[in-house]
Amino acid sequence: MDSTERRSQEPRATPSSEASPAASIAKRVLLADDDRLIVATLGQRLRAAGYEVLEAFDGPSALEVCTTLSPDLAIIDHSMPGMSGVELARAIASSTSTPVIFLSAYSDEAIVADAIAAGAMTYLVKPIDTEQLLPIVRAALQRAREFHALRFQAGNLTTALQKDRNVSVAVGLLMAKFNIGQREAFERLRRHARSVRAKMEDVATELLRANDETGRMLELYGERVPTRSHDRTEPEP
């Protein structure tokens, strides 16, 4: 078999008119609007692009979808029954990590400012061009991923700094208690951690907790007990 024939039998990638939002897992997008025609129109376009679409037609239902199904993005109308878009966005931000895009029939600056202050990633004015919706959705999802990654890194950094701080404080406590140098105190802490097969950070945290409890106990014993008047010995006349 010559090279030309081999190349003709090799599998080829089939071109697609739409790029899938995810290689294996479709992104969930919530559409929340009391206008069912808008929900149907935008939902049809998003489904055609490979997104899983959830629907809600009032504020409380949209909030329930966000808290129970955790969509990757919520596109919500500014004005809906039961709860305004601003109230809904605040509730979503306080109880979930779902990013929000606002929809509205108005482009009033005050409304836009309220939406952004409530946590909206962007603001779209009706009627929505469905072809322009897709790049906006993709950009919002990408920004949300970057934000979650930064928050995760910040959380890890805070945890690491706290662990380092506990070790440093525990070493200082041993130095003061036994009148030893920093290296010796560190080695004692590390040897103890090895002997109990625990992480050094956990041993340091336990030592600080025990020290705090001991300090509180000593404070209790150090408090003066008030003397009752009938316990006093009256001087003889």
Domain ranges of the chain: 28-128, 154-221
Please list, residue by residue across 192-228, b when 16 or more beta carbons sit within 10 angstroms of its beta carbon and e when fewer do. Answer: bbeeeeeebbebbbbbbeeeeeeeeeeeeeeeeeeee
Confidence bin at 56 (pLDDT 50/70/90): very high
Please list, residue by residue across 13-41, b when 16 or more beta carbons sit within 10 angstroms of its beta carbon and e when fewer do. Answer: eeeeeeeebeeeebbbbbbbbeeeebbeb
CATH topology of domain 28-128: Rossmann fold (3.40.50)
pTM given for the model? 0.54
For the cut 70, the answer to whether the pLDDT of residue 148 exceeds it is: no
Q: Give the mean pLDDT of the chain.
A: 77
The CATH number of 154-221 is 1.10.10.10
Give yes or no for a contact between 51 and 28, defined as CB atoms under 8 angstroms apart.
Answer: yes
